[in-house]
Structure 1
Amino acid sequence: MPAIRVLVVDDSALMRRHLVQLLQGQKDLEVQAARNGEEALALVDRFDPHVVTLDVNMPEMDGITCLARIMVGSPRPVIMVSSITEAGAEATLQALSLGALDYVQKPGGTISLSLDRVAEELITKVRMAAKAGRRGAKPGTVSPLPVAPSRFRAAAPVPVSVPSRPAGGRVATAAAGDPPGLVVIGVSTGGPHVLEQILPALPATLPWPVAIAQHMPRSFTGVFARRLDKLCALAVQEVTGQATLAPGNIYIARGDADMLVVRRGKALHLASVPASEAHAWHPSVTRLADSAGEHVPPARILCVQLTGMGDDGAEAMAQLKRQGARTIAQNEDSCAVFGMPNELIRRGGASVVLPTGAIAGQIAKWLNPASLARAS
């Protein structure tokens, strides 16, 4: 297979040199570098990179402006290289909403030592971005490379079969004062862009609360929750300790930790707990979905599996579907990375497979009073 062409854009000569050396050490990567946004745009035309890594803060032309120019003139996968400050998080989230595929936190302190800690992440994301680009144009991963046909196309929702008897496992029963149900959303790479389309489309009258595990570092989740809160009719908050589950709210798991549904007295809460070493991704979708199944009757759980690498949450959601939950998998054409939804589908765990633009409407349809009455 031809080498993956990578353009590194950073105004710091030291950072630029280290990133180039890191990527050039991989036999499947061909690398060039630019010092600023103007140079980057020229090299996008001449070098035609499959993937661009783009610094957020640069003189002459900052990363956000450069990204916007790339997406309009010659769209392709872009990975932002961001600082861990709140300002860096704000800028990175803006970049993701403009079409960047993903981000890597810029190392602090001694660059050579810090880069060792992000090397594997950066290389993995560059390869993933190149693969996404070859698959075809996606929101956040638009590419001039040929588009392969999708195995899953947008279709009308299929009927949901709710078994009269759950298939194995302990099934929770509702307690007085519990919320009427719970929407559980799992998402990773490409998630901020997709969530900013889905969550603002949910009505303020949605009768069930929404709990989200988005793979994201701690420095980003609070900023992301505040950003979503300005966009949504429902109130959005980051869960840093405990929060009582209540309708009218969207709860974002704190980054670098896990979020669980727990019972405290007569009420259900969400609790932020230390990340489990037994789980590869955090916040863990698997732990969130499993804990929901322990405390909420499956027929009152609606799971949504969105874009992301890996299989986090797939088996847990498939098990909930077998016990009576309803599930949505995002379709391939609208995913930045089809890994997590595909794993749910492969396990027979998707009630419906839908594009991004149809997901909020399906949630609202399933949770309207008439539909809930028929399902009960």
Structure 2
Amino acid sequence: MAKILIVDDSALMRRHLKEILEAKGGYEVMAVRNGVEALEALEPFQPDVITLDVNMPEMDGLTCLSHIMARRPTPVVMVSSLTQRGAEVTFEALALGAVDFIHKPDGTISLNVDRVEREILEKVKAASRARLRRSTGLQQRLRDQRADRSDRRERQGGGGASPSARLAVDDFGVVIIGVSTGGPGTLEEILPCLPADFPWPVVVAQHMPGSFTAIFARRLNDMCRMPVIEAAQMMPLKPGVIYIAKGDADVVIGKRATGWVVNPMPGGSQFLWHPSVERLVDSALHAMASENVIGVLLTGMGDDGADSMCELKRRGGHTIAQDEASSVIWGMPGELVKRGGADLVLPAGRIAGQLTAWLKQTVTTREDRHGAR
């Protein structure tokens, strides 16, 4: 039986979480009031998962989390308010190693906790199976870059056809990234490595509440060489821009008289997760040639995007699945691999390099073609 440690200064919240996790989840649960008590319970109780309130007296959630990761690294699910400050602290917590976060119910707690009961159980269950994400240091990034160069030399040396050998050379395409649990930290590892002159737009569907995605886009914009914006309204789809789909909604790609657009839509009831990766990829396949679409499926529970990216590959598009070792949860990318829909299976640290290599070849081939006219 897995052990869950609840850390929350609200007696009512502790009671509700304890009831849900014991009665519905079948877990052994211990509840404490603050970060100091949590650290005292860490070794005696040895929890498998910790739910950690962001705002607490005596020791706040971030400070407590940093001590947990230093003393006894454990999967942590943050319990966060849907405020701007709550979102900012939550992203700091995810950067420190937290696996995921739960929205702290507002208003009448007893009613709101019932509403998010399924989310609590799903995220705690996923966290119990998660790999703790460790920051990729400089030496590891250098090793990944050397491996990328070696792989490209092998492919160029006559080792047979590779996905890059049949990449489209048309003037416009899009990279679609789908991601869920463990996504913020993984995206912060991948997107800053894309060059400022990346020739295609990148559209990211990260499962996340609507009040968080604008803050996440601003955070990524400070890290990345490409501009990063939230797709909160219909806007032109421009090369060299990263679009973060607005949370609690879906986003689609379409064609207008003025050009390509990215357009937020109300979340479709037929989709379990939002923004829906499945819907985003389907819209791209409907709007443009599949050869001009690259799909990347990253860490996350469930299978959102696996079917549509399999179809993308079947039609001649290109797909990458994050490998199991670097994924917090190998659900979504694992399903893509199991269904035979991944051209390549790569660790997070090598995905940006592969995208850049594919698109660099596309631009070079296009320039050679134009120069020959």
TM-score by length of 2: 0.88
One of 337, 357, 362 as aligned partner of 1:365: 357
The question of whether the paired residues in 2 share the 8 Å contact of 1:138 and 1:333 is answered with no
Partner Cα distance (2:275, 2:56) in 1: 31
> What residue is the counterpart of 1:167 in the other structure?
none
SS in 1 for 2:24: coil
Q: What's the CA shift for 1:42?
A: 1.1
CA contact (8 A) 2:200 2:238 kept: yes
What is aligned with 2:213? 221
In the other structure, the counterpart of 1:14 is 12
Does the alignment pair 1:89 with 2:91?
no
Aligned position for 2:235: 243
Identical pairs, percent = 51
- C-alpha separation in 2, matches of 1:370 and 1:280: 35
Aligned counterpart in structure 1 of residue 325 of structure 2, from 319, 333, 344: 333
- The letter of the residue matching 1:71 is M
Partner of 1:78: 76
State the match for 1:41 in structure 2: 39
Alignment partner, residue 222 of structure 2: 230
Is residue 290 from structure 1 mapped to residue 282 from structure 2 by the alignment?
Answer: yes
CA contact (8 A) 1:163 1:323 kept: no
What is the deviation of 1:262? 1.2
Aligned to 2:198: 206
Q: 1:241 to 1:41 in 2, by over 3 A?
A: same
Q: How many Å apart are 1:27 and its aligned residue?
A: 5.8
Secondary structure of 1:367's counterpart equals helix
Secondary structure of the equivalent of 2:325?
A: helix
Corresponding residue of 1:160: 162
Asked if residue 256 in structure 1 is aligned to residue 254 in structure 2, the reply is no
Alignment of 1:305 onto 2:297: yes
More helix by proportion, 1 or 2?
2
Query: Pairwise mapping of residues 47-196 of structure 1 onto structure 2 (< 5 A)?
Result: 47-132=45-130, 136-139=131-134, 156=151, 159-161=161-163, 180-196=172-188
Superposition deviation, residue 232 in structure 1: 0.5
- Would you say the 8 A contact 2:8–2:53 is kept in 1? yes
Q: CA contact under 8 A between 1:365 and 1:371: conserved in structure 2?
A: no
Extract unaligned runs of 5+ from structure 2.
136-147, 156-160
1:156 Cα shift? 4.8
Residue 348, structure 1, aligned to residue 340, structure 2:
yes
Q: In structure 2, do the counterparts of structure 1 residues 72 and 372 end up closer, same or farther at CA, with 3 Å as the change threshold?
A: farther
Once the two structures are superposed, residues 19-58 of structure 1 have per-residue CA deviations (whole angstroms, 9 ceiling, x without a partner) of: 1122121363000011111110111111000000000001
Tell me the TM-score normalized by structure 1.
0.87
Q: CA deviation at 1:324?
A: 1.4
The whole-number CA distance in structure 1 between the counterparts of 2:25 and 2:172 is 54
Structure 1 unaligned residues grouped into runs of 5+? 141-153, 165-171
Amino acid at match of 2:41: L
Segments ≥4 residues shifted beyond 6 Å: none
**Counterparts of 1:277 and 1:365, CA distance in 2:** 38
Moved more, 243-252 or 292-301: 292-301
Partners of 1:8 and 1:54 within 8 A in 2: yes
The answer to which of 20-29 and 182-191 deviates more is: 20-29
Q: Alpha carbons of 1:221 and 1:370: their partners in 2 closer, same or farther (altered >3 Å)? A: closer
Aligned counterparts of 1:353 and 1:248: Cα–Cα separation in 2: 24
Instruction: Please name the residue that 1:197 is paired with.
Output: 189
Verify the 8 A CA contact 1:260 1:292 in the aligned structure 2: yes
Matching residue within 17, 29, 44 for 1:31: 29
Give the aligned residue type for 1:87: R
Spell out, residue by residue over 1:347-368, the C-alpha distance to the aligned partner (whole angstroms, 9 max, x if none): 1111110111111111111110
